[in-house]
Structure 1
């Protein structure tokens, strides 16, 4: 199975970069990156030290519903290219992450969530996506539950 690590869509990112309200209805906060632990969820690279960044609440689901978690993320403040890739993105550099499957209704598929070592993410995502109930997978911080990237079947 071929996997695609899918960042937040460009149109949504450009809206945030232009000052559109986040999932809490607030204007994204602007800050300067210190280069440590600031993964942009669009280019899937860390925001370099000294560069502008946005801090905002994001809901990586099409509509609010009980399973549509929202939380803080970082983005480059200036337009960056989509980091869509078929390999493990650079931002996934912690020891482990939560991997969780979601159905076509954008709800958690129970029994698919686990904390897994970073190197095992592709294999764990493949295992979840082999389940016909799972439409896509989220990778989230194992420490803070922040959304990192979506994984889709190609």
Structure 2
């Protein structure tokens, strides 16, 4: 099995680029990148030094429920192309390790599936998790801050769509 690395849905990004509010109902903050450390969740690339970016609360789940984690993310301020090379490790995954955590089709954490995983083992660990019948998809999250980076799906079924924003 291979996996599909899935970025933030373009509909979510367009909503924010058009001045829409984030998961908390706030207008995203605008900052200027000082270099590495600002990974865009739409193109899955780092935002270059000097580029403007949006800082916002994001909930990569379709509805509120106890396991629907919300956290800060970054997004290019001007529209960027959504990450398309889904079978390749995204450029933003450059830290030594990340938390990989499985979620069921009910969008809830599958207990016992989360683990800090070395970056070079992400694909193998995701394949292992996605082979389980109780895991529908996997989140890649920062091992230091637990921030959402991207989602991993089975390649035949990337269905990440989000209606969590106040659209």
**TM-score, length basis structure 1:** 0.98
Q: Which digits, 9 at most, give the CA deviation of each residue in 1:8-54, with x for residues without a partner?
A: 00010111111111011100001111122000000000011111100
Calculate the TM-score normalised by the size of structure 2: 0.91
Q: Distance in 1 between matches of 2:80 and 2:24?
A: 23
CA positional deviation for 1:72: 0.1
| Deviant stretches of 4+, over 2 Å | none
Aligned to 2:143: 142
Gaps of 5+ in 2: 156-167
Give aligned pairs, total: 154
Give the number of the structure with larger relative contact order, counting CA–CA contacts within 8 Å between residues 6 or more apart.
2
Paired with 1:139 and 1:64, the residues of 2 have a C-alpha distance of 20
Provide the alpha-carbon RMSD of the alignment: 0.6
Partner of 2:113: 112
- 1:91 matched residue in structure 2: 92
Q: What is the distance in 2 between the residues matched to 1:129 and 1:94?
A: 23
Q: Which residue of 2 aligns with 1:55?
A: 55
